[in-house]
Amino acid sequence: MSESIGSIREQAAADTVLTPDKIAGLIADDLVRVERMFREHLASPVKIVEEIGDFVAASGGKRVRPTLHLLTAQLCGYRGEHHIRLATVLEFIHTATLIHDDIIDGARTRRGRTSANRRWGNSTTVLFGDYLFAKAMEMALGAGSLEVMERLAEVTLRMTEGEMLQTRYVGRLDLTEDEYLDLVERKTAALFGCCCELAGLVADVDERRLGSLRGFGTDLGMAFQLVDDLLDFTGDAATMGKPAASDLREGKATLAVLDLLGSGPVDAAELARFAIEDGDPEAIARLTDLLHEHGSIERARHRARRFAESAVRQLDGFGGGPAYEALAGMPELILSRDR
Protein backbone atom coordinates (compact mmCIF):
# COMPACT_ATOMS: atom_id res chain seq x y z
CA MET A 1 0.00 0.00 0.00
CA SER A 2 2.80 2.42 0.96
CA GLU A 3 4.56 1.70 -2.36
CA SER A 4 1.34 2.54 -4.20
CA ILE A 5 0.97 5.84 -2.31
CA GLY A 6 4.62 6.62 -3.02
CA SER A 7 4.11 6.03 -6.73
CA ILE A 8 1.05 8.27 -6.74
CA ARG A 9 3.01 11.04 -5.04
CA GLU A 10 5.90 10.69 -7.48
CA GLN A 11 3.50 10.88 -10.41
CA ALA A 12 1.78 13.93 -8.92
CA ALA A 13 5.15 15.64 -8.48
CA ALA A 14 6.09 14.81 -12.07
CA ASP A 15 2.79 16.26 -13.29
CA THR A 16 3.61 19.61 -11.68
CA VAL A 17 7.01 19.91 -13.37
CA LEU A 18 6.90 22.52 -16.11
CA THR A 19 8.14 21.29 -19.49
CA PRO A 20 8.18 22.80 -22.99
CA ASP A 21 5.44 20.34 -23.99
CA LYS A 22 3.21 21.47 -21.12
CA ILE A 23 3.73 25.10 -22.06
CA ALA A 24 2.89 24.36 -25.70
CA GLY A 25 -0.18 22.44 -24.55
CA LEU A 26 -1.68 25.61 -23.08
CA ILE A 27 -1.75 27.23 -26.50
CA ALA A 28 -1.74 24.17 -28.75
CA ASP A 29 -4.73 25.19 -30.87
CA ASP A 30 -3.38 28.71 -31.32
CA LEU A 31 0.05 27.39 -32.33
CA VAL A 32 -1.59 25.22 -34.99
CA ARG A 33 -3.36 28.30 -36.34
CA VAL A 34 -0.10 30.28 -36.31
CA GLU A 35 1.68 27.51 -38.20
CA ARG A 36 -1.12 27.42 -40.76
CA MET A 37 -1.04 31.19 -41.24
CA PHE A 38 2.77 31.14 -41.47
CA ARG A 39 2.63 28.66 -44.34
CA GLU A 40 -0.30 30.38 -46.05
CA HIS A 41 1.51 33.70 -46.17
CA LEU A 42 4.65 32.12 -47.58
CA ALA A 43 2.64 31.14 -50.65
CA SER A 44 3.26 33.24 -53.76
CA PRO A 45 2.53 33.11 -57.50
CA VAL A 46 6.24 33.81 -58.01
CA LYS A 47 7.85 30.38 -58.24
CA ILE A 48 11.17 31.21 -56.56
CA VAL A 49 9.40 32.83 -53.61
CA GLU A 50 7.17 29.78 -53.22
CA GLU A 51 10.15 27.44 -53.51
CA ILE A 52 12.21 29.14 -50.79
CA GLY A 53 9.07 29.62 -48.70
CA ASP A 54 8.38 25.87 -48.73
CA PHE A 55 11.98 25.23 -47.74
CA VAL A 56 11.82 27.70 -44.84
CA ALA A 57 8.47 26.39 -43.61
CA ALA A 58 9.77 22.81 -43.62
CA SER A 59 12.78 23.76 -41.50
CA GLY A 60 10.47 24.26 -38.52
CA GLY A 61 11.95 25.82 -35.41
CA LYS A 62 11.06 26.15 -31.75
CA ARG A 63 8.51 28.95 -32.35
CA VAL A 64 9.68 30.52 -29.09
CA ARG A 65 8.54 34.00 -30.03
CA PRO A 66 4.99 33.08 -31.10
CA THR A 67 4.70 30.97 -27.93
CA LEU A 68 5.77 33.91 -25.81
CA HIS A 69 3.28 36.22 -27.51
CA LEU A 70 0.37 33.78 -27.26
CA LEU A 71 0.99 33.04 -23.58
CA THR A 72 1.22 36.74 -22.78
CA ALA A 73 -2.05 37.39 -24.60
CA GLN A 74 -3.62 34.65 -22.48
CA LEU A 75 -2.09 36.17 -19.33
CA CYS A 76 -3.69 39.52 -20.20
CA GLY A 77 -7.09 37.93 -20.79
CA TYR A 78 -7.16 38.87 -24.46
CA ARG A 79 -10.26 37.84 -26.37
CA GLY A 80 -9.94 38.30 -30.09
CA GLU A 81 -8.07 37.13 -33.18
CA HIS A 82 -5.18 39.58 -33.55
CA HIS A 83 -2.84 37.51 -31.36
CA ILE A 84 -2.70 34.80 -34.05
CA ARG A 85 -1.80 37.31 -36.74
CA LEU A 86 0.81 39.05 -34.60
CA ALA A 87 2.39 35.80 -33.45
CA THR A 88 2.83 34.94 -37.14
CA VAL A 89 4.22 38.40 -37.87
CA LEU A 90 6.80 37.98 -35.11
CA GLU A 91 7.89 34.62 -36.52
CA PHE A 92 8.20 36.18 -40.00
CA ILE A 93 10.46 38.89 -38.61
CA HIS A 94 12.55 36.38 -36.69
CA THR A 95 12.89 34.16 -39.78
CA ALA A 96 13.96 37.14 -41.89
CA THR A 97 16.69 38.02 -39.41
CA LEU A 98 17.99 34.44 -39.42
CA ILE A 99 18.17 34.45 -43.21
CA HIS A 100 20.05 37.74 -43.26
CA ASP A 101 22.35 36.54 -40.46
CA ASP A 102 23.25 33.42 -42.44
CA ILE A 103 24.13 35.52 -45.48
CA ILE A 104 26.32 37.87 -43.46
CA ASP A 105 28.03 34.97 -41.65
CA GLY A 106 28.45 32.89 -44.79
CA ALA A 107 26.66 30.04 -43.01
CA ARG A 108 26.49 26.65 -44.69
CA THR A 109 23.86 25.12 -42.43
CA ARG A 110 20.84 26.15 -40.39
CA ARG A 111 19.21 23.75 -37.89
CA GLY A 112 21.19 20.86 -39.32
CA ARG A 113 20.12 21.53 -42.91
CA THR A 114 21.74 23.33 -45.82
CA SER A 115 21.15 27.05 -45.32
CA ALA A 116 18.97 28.96 -47.79
CA ASN A 117 21.87 31.17 -48.88
CA ARG A 118 24.00 28.12 -49.58
CA ARG A 119 21.24 26.61 -51.71
CA TRP A 120 20.01 29.67 -53.64
CA GLY A 121 22.92 32.10 -53.34
CA ASN A 122 23.24 35.36 -51.45
CA SER A 123 21.53 37.65 -53.96
CA THR A 124 18.29 35.68 -54.16
CA THR A 125 18.24 34.87 -50.45
CA VAL A 126 18.76 38.44 -49.23
CA LEU A 127 15.81 39.48 -51.37
CA PHE A 128 13.73 36.71 -49.83
CA GLY A 129 14.65 38.02 -46.38
CA ASP A 130 13.49 41.47 -47.48
CA TYR A 131 10.28 39.89 -48.76
CA LEU A 132 9.63 38.37 -45.32
CA PHE A 133 10.08 41.73 -43.59
CA ALA A 134 7.68 43.39 -46.05
CA LYS A 135 5.18 40.55 -45.71
CA ALA A 136 5.33 40.86 -41.92
CA MET A 137 4.44 44.55 -42.05
CA GLU A 138 1.66 43.94 -44.55
CA MET A 139 0.16 41.31 -42.25
CA ALA A 140 0.52 43.52 -39.18
CA LEU A 141 -1.68 46.15 -40.80
CA GLY A 142 -4.56 43.73 -40.29
CA ALA A 143 -4.37 44.36 -36.54
CA GLY A 144 -5.62 47.89 -37.22
CA SER A 145 -3.35 49.51 -34.63
CA LEU A 146 -0.94 52.37 -35.24
CA GLU A 147 0.77 51.57 -31.92
CA VAL A 148 1.42 48.01 -33.04
CA MET A 149 2.92 49.23 -36.33
CA GLU A 150 5.08 51.78 -34.54
CA ARG A 151 6.39 49.16 -32.12
CA LEU A 152 7.17 46.70 -34.92
CA ALA A 153 8.96 49.39 -36.92
CA GLU A 154 10.93 50.40 -33.83
CA VAL A 155 12.06 46.88 -32.99
CA THR A 156 12.96 46.10 -36.62
CA LEU A 157 15.14 49.21 -36.77
CA ARG A 158 16.77 48.28 -33.46
CA MET A 159 17.52 44.76 -34.64
CA THR A 160 18.99 46.10 -37.89
CA GLU A 161 21.19 48.50 -35.93
CA GLY A 162 22.33 45.54 -33.85
CA GLU A 163 23.23 43.56 -36.96
CA MET A 164 25.20 46.51 -38.30
CA LEU A 165 27.05 46.83 -35.00
CA GLN A 166 27.80 43.11 -35.15
CA THR A 167 29.58 43.56 -38.48
CA ARG A 168 31.80 46.20 -36.85
CA TYR A 169 32.56 43.93 -33.91
CA VAL A 170 33.62 40.86 -35.92
CA GLY A 171 37.16 39.84 -34.99
CA ARG A 172 37.34 42.26 -32.07
CA LEU A 173 38.52 40.75 -28.80
CA ASP A 174 38.51 44.04 -26.89
CA LEU A 175 34.75 44.58 -26.52
CA THR A 176 33.53 45.66 -23.11
CA GLU A 177 30.80 43.74 -21.31
CA ASP A 178 28.46 46.72 -21.74
CA GLU A 179 29.06 46.78 -25.49
CA TYR A 180 28.34 43.10 -25.76
CA LEU A 181 25.19 43.22 -23.65
CA ASP A 182 23.92 46.17 -25.69
CA LEU A 183 24.42 44.07 -28.82
CA VAL A 184 22.49 41.17 -27.30
CA GLU A 185 19.63 43.48 -26.32
CA ARG A 186 19.38 44.84 -29.85
CA LYS A 187 19.75 41.58 -31.78
CA THR A 188 17.74 39.22 -29.58
CA ALA A 189 16.13 40.65 -26.46
CA ALA A 190 14.36 43.55 -28.15
CA LEU A 191 12.18 41.17 -30.18
CA PHE A 192 11.40 39.09 -27.08
CA GLY A 193 10.26 42.29 -25.37
CA CYS A 194 8.15 43.17 -28.39
CA CYS A 195 6.46 39.76 -28.34
CA CYS A 196 5.12 40.45 -24.85
CA GLU A 197 4.43 44.14 -25.34
CA LEU A 198 2.31 43.57 -28.47
CA ALA A 199 0.13 41.14 -26.52
CA GLY A 200 -0.39 43.81 -23.89
CA LEU A 201 -1.21 46.39 -26.54
CA VAL A 202 -3.94 44.35 -28.21
CA ALA A 203 -5.30 43.43 -24.75
CA ASP A 204 -5.33 47.15 -23.86
CA VAL A 205 -3.46 46.84 -20.55
CA ASP A 206 -2.34 49.98 -18.72
CA GLU A 207 1.05 51.61 -19.27
CA ARG A 208 2.59 50.24 -16.08
CA ARG A 209 1.74 46.64 -16.93
CA LEU A 210 2.76 47.21 -20.54
CA GLY A 211 6.20 48.26 -19.33
CA SER A 212 6.39 45.18 -17.11
CA LEU A 213 5.55 42.91 -20.03
CA ARG A 214 8.21 44.53 -22.19
CA GLY A 215 10.70 44.23 -19.33
CA PHE A 216 9.85 40.57 -18.79
CA GLY A 217 10.38 39.73 -22.45
CA THR A 218 13.59 41.74 -22.70
CA ASP A 219 15.13 40.14 -19.62
CA LEU A 220 14.02 36.70 -20.84
CA GLY A 221 15.64 37.40 -24.21
CA MET A 222 18.89 38.43 -22.55
CA ALA A 223 18.97 35.19 -20.55
CA PHE A 224 18.07 33.20 -23.68
CA GLN A 225 20.96 34.63 -25.71
CA LEU A 226 23.55 34.34 -22.95
CA VAL A 227 22.65 30.67 -22.52
CA ASP A 228 22.80 30.23 -26.30
CA ASP A 229 26.29 31.74 -26.25
CA LEU A 230 27.38 29.28 -23.56
CA LEU A 231 26.02 26.32 -25.53
CA ASP A 232 28.47 27.26 -28.26
CA PHE A 233 31.14 25.84 -25.92
CA THR A 234 29.20 23.50 -23.63
CA GLY A 235 26.60 22.01 -25.98
CA ASP A 236 26.87 18.83 -28.01
CA ALA A 237 27.80 19.66 -31.61
CA ALA A 238 25.50 16.99 -33.06
CA THR A 239 22.56 18.17 -30.97
CA MET A 240 23.22 21.81 -31.79
CA GLY A 241 23.61 21.10 -35.50
CA LYS A 242 26.82 23.14 -35.72
CA PRO A 243 30.48 22.68 -34.71
CA ALA A 244 31.82 23.78 -31.32
CA ALA A 245 32.78 27.45 -30.97
CA SER A 246 30.92 28.40 -34.15
CA ASP A 247 30.46 31.96 -32.92
CA LEU A 248 34.16 32.39 -32.26
CA ARG A 249 35.06 30.82 -35.61
CA GLU A 250 32.92 33.59 -37.15
CA GLY A 251 34.85 36.21 -35.19
CA LYS A 252 32.21 36.76 -32.51
CA ALA A 253 33.61 36.91 -28.98
CA THR A 254 30.78 36.16 -26.54
CA LEU A 255 30.50 37.07 -22.86
CA ALA A 256 32.44 34.13 -21.40
CA VAL A 257 35.28 34.64 -23.89
CA LEU A 258 35.44 38.36 -23.12
CA ASP A 259 35.53 37.53 -19.41
CA LEU A 260 38.44 35.13 -19.92
CA LEU A 261 40.36 37.61 -22.05
CA GLY A 262 39.98 40.20 -19.33
CA SER A 263 41.03 38.04 -16.40
CA GLY A 264 42.60 34.83 -17.68
CA PRO A 265 46.11 33.81 -18.80
CA VAL A 266 47.97 35.79 -21.41
CA ASP A 267 47.79 32.99 -23.99
CA ALA A 268 43.97 33.12 -24.02
CA ALA A 269 43.96 35.93 -26.59
CA GLU A 270 46.34 34.00 -28.83
CA LEU A 271 44.16 30.89 -28.61
CA ALA A 272 41.07 32.96 -29.44
CA ARG A 273 42.84 34.47 -32.42
CA PHE A 274 43.84 31.01 -33.70
CA ALA A 275 40.20 29.90 -33.35
CA ILE A 276 38.99 32.90 -35.35
CA GLU A 277 41.59 32.80 -38.09
CA ASP A 278 42.07 29.06 -38.57
CA GLY A 279 39.27 27.31 -36.66
CA ASP A 280 42.10 25.40 -34.97
CA PRO A 281 40.44 22.48 -33.07
CA GLU A 282 43.31 22.28 -30.57
CA ALA A 283 43.11 25.99 -29.83
CA ILE A 284 39.33 25.72 -29.38
CA ALA A 285 39.67 22.73 -27.05
CA ARG A 286 42.30 24.49 -24.93
CA LEU A 287 40.29 27.70 -24.86
CA THR A 288 37.21 25.76 -23.74
CA ASP A 289 39.21 24.22 -20.91
CA LEU A 290 40.39 27.67 -19.82
CA LEU A 291 36.82 29.00 -19.87
CA HIS A 292 35.90 26.33 -17.34
CA GLU A 293 39.09 26.49 -15.27
CA HIS A 294 38.97 30.25 -14.78
CA GLY A 295 35.26 30.39 -13.98
CA SER A 296 34.30 32.36 -17.11
CA ILE A 297 31.58 29.89 -18.06
CA GLU A 298 30.13 30.01 -14.56
CA ARG A 299 30.22 33.82 -14.37
CA ALA A 300 28.40 34.10 -17.71
CA ARG A 301 25.86 31.54 -16.50
CA HIS A 302 25.37 33.58 -13.31
CA ARG A 303 24.75 36.68 -15.41
CA ALA A 304 22.11 34.79 -17.39
CA ARG A 305 20.48 33.74 -14.12
CA ARG A 306 20.32 37.34 -12.93
CA PHE A 307 18.42 38.29 -16.09
CA ALA A 308 16.13 35.28 -15.62
CA GLU A 309 15.36 36.25 -12.02
CA SER A 310 14.70 39.83 -13.07
CA ALA A 311 12.28 38.56 -15.72
CA VAL A 312 10.22 36.67 -13.14
CA ARG A 313 10.03 39.75 -10.89
CA GLN A 314 8.51 41.71 -13.77
CA LEU A 315 5.42 39.49 -13.53
CA ASP A 316 4.68 40.45 -9.91
CA GLY A 317 1.78 42.67 -10.95
CA PHE A 318 -0.06 39.87 -12.73
CA GLY A 319 -2.33 37.26 -11.21
CA GLY A 320 -1.87 33.51 -11.17
CA GLY A 321 -3.25 30.92 -13.53
CA PRO A 322 -1.77 28.55 -16.12
CA ALA A 323 -0.38 31.27 -18.42
CA TYR A 324 1.28 33.03 -15.48
CA GLU A 325 2.82 29.78 -14.24
CA ALA A 326 4.10 28.99 -17.73
CA LEU A 327 5.65 32.41 -18.25
CA ALA A 328 7.15 32.50 -14.75
CA GLY A 329 8.65 29.05 -15.37
CA MET A 330 10.14 29.84 -18.78
CA PRO A 331 13.29 31.54 -17.42
CA GLU A 332 14.30 28.39 -15.53
CA LEU A 333 13.66 26.26 -18.62
CA ILE A 334 15.87 28.59 -20.63
CA LEU A 335 18.66 28.35 -18.07
CA SER A 336 18.60 24.55 -18.21
CA ARG A 337 18.24 24.05 -21.96
CA ASP A 338 20.83 22.02 -23.87
CA ARG A 339 20.04 23.06 -27.44
* pLDDT of the residue at 240: 59
Q: Which among 306, 96, 315, 87 is positioned nearest to 217, based on CA atoms?
A: 315
Measured from the Cβ of residue 228, the count of other Cβ atoms closer than 10 Å reads 19
Q: 9: pLDDT confidence band, cut at 50, 70 and 90?
A: very low
Q: 243: pLDDT confidence band, cut at 50, 70 and 90?
A: confident
The three state secondary structure string of 163-174 is HHHHHHHCCCCC
Measured from the Cβ of residue 58, the count of other Cβ atoms closer than 10 Å reads 9
Residue 10, judged by CB atoms within 10 A of its CB (0-12, 13-18, 19+), counts as exposed
Which string of DSSP letters, residue by residue, matches 220-245? Answer: HHHHHHHHHHHHHHHS-HHHHTS-TT
Q: 169: pLDDT confidence band, cut at 50, 70 and 90?
A: very high
Q: Characterise 301 by phi-psi region: left (phi > 0), alpha (psi -120 to 50), beta (else).
A: alpha
Radius of gyration of the chain (CA): 21
Q: 320: pLDDT confidence band, cut at 50, 70 and 90?
A: confident
pTM score, two decimals?
A: 0.92
Over residues 180-220, the pLDDT tens digits come to 999 999 999 999 999 999 999 999 999 999 999 999 999 99
Over residues 257-270, the pLDDT tens digits come to 999 999 878 889 99
